[in-house]
Amino acid sequence: MNTNQPIRVLIVDDHAMVRKGLISFLKNEPALELVGEARDGREAIEACEQTKPDVILMDLVMPELGGVAATRTIHQRWPGVQVIALTSFQEKELVQDALQAGAIGYLLKNVSGEELTEAIRQAHSGRPTLAPEAVQALIRPPSEAESLAADLTRREQEVLGLLVKGMSNPEIAACLFISRATVKVHISNILSKLGVSNRAEAISLAIKNKLVR
């Protein structure tokens, strides 16, 4: 790594105003060089191949191809390129997914310019930077509902997801290629494990605690 050369940065975000703000920020930092911008994960992969950046500022929730999937592909193809997740979301699952995909940093979009500059420098040196909110999300103990949901089998999770979609027992049976009697057994198990008395309460609990995708 040549410390005399500016750090080459690629911006990936589906919001034009966010990209514009980051571009203005980078232009005022002589140690950083903007080499490209992309609107989604697919464009990010193409831009990475063309520009060979040192660090990518990657939004996570985008159309076409999200930031986690793009990060995973980039990390596999160009392991020397460091990705910093720059997002508005701090959910534990998203933090875990981004880091597992290969991101070296996780920052929220309310980060200061000084903090972002330092994170880019740290990433370029191979050192991680996590927003305090991301750290808290990772160490936060699971909620009671999340703990209960962990007891559900894969099939029960599938049935719960279809319940949330508003499907009836016959529709669930047809969708999963199982009998209606089996559906009833799964729903009975779901209600028991979640500690609720009917399917409406199970649906409400699942939506409130994001137990299904």
Asked if pLDDT for residue 209 goes beyond 80, the answer is no
Higher per-residue pLDDT: 78 or 94: 78
Instruction: Give the bridge partners for 105, in sequence order.
Output: 84, 129
Domain ranges of the chain: 7-139, 144-208
pLDDT for position 3: 57
Give the residue among 19, 15, 18, 16 at the shortest CA–CA distance from 34: 19
Q: What is the mean pLDDT of residues 182-198?
A: 92
Asked whether the beta carbons of 56 and 48 are under 8 A apart, the reply is yes
Asked whether the beta carbons of 128 and 122 are under 8 A apart, the reply is yes
Buried b (16+ CB within 10 A) or exposed e, 27-62: eebeebebbbbbbbbbbbbebbeebebbbbbbbbeb
Asked if pLDDT for residue 162 goes beyond 60, the answer is yes
Q: How confident is the model at residue 78 (pLDDT cuts 50, 70, 90)?
A: very high
pTM of the model: 0.67
Asked if pLDDT for residue 148 goes beyond 80, the answer is no
pLDDT for position 109: 92
Phi, psi (rounded to 5 degrees) for 82: -95, 135
Asked if pLDDT for residue 82 goes beyond 80, the answer is yes
Class of domain 144-208: mainly alpha
Q: Which tens digit of pLDDT belongs to each residue from 31-54?
A: 999 999 999 999 999 999 999 999
pLDDT for position 194: 87
CATH code: domain 7-139 is 3.40.50.2300
Asked if pLDDT for residue 211 goes beyond 90, the answer is no
Give the residue among 137, 49, 45 at the shortest CA–CA distance from 146: 137
C-alpha 80/C-alpha 63 separation (Å) is 26
Instruction: Give the bridge partners for 129, in sequence order.
Output: 105
Q: What is the mean pLDDT of residues 65-86?
A: 96
pLDDT for position 205: 86
For residue 88, give the DSSP letter. Answer: S
Q: Average per-residue pLDDT in the chain?
A: 90
